[in-house]
Amino acid sequence: MQYCIFLQYHVPCCLAEELLAAGPL
């Protein structure tokens, strides 16, 4: 997920993956 860290601002899809993996906030 390292690439996602620097791509989070470019690809919000990664953010969704983190939310799904982390579950409900």
Kindly write down the DSSP assignment for every residue of 4-25, as one continuous string.
HHHHTTT-THHHHHHHHHH---
Q: What pLDDT does residue 14 have? A: 61
Helix (H, G, I), strand (E, B) or coil at 2: helix
Domain count, the chain: 1
* In the predicted structure, residue 4 carries a pLDDT above the cut 60: no
Contact, 14 vs 4, CB < 8 A?
yes
| pLDDT score, position 2 | 53
pTM of the predicted model as reported, rounded to 2 decimal places: 0.26
Q: Residue 6 pLDDT more than 60? A: no
The reported pLDDT for the residue numbered 12 is 58
**CB pairs under 8 A, 24+ apart, for 18-21?**
none
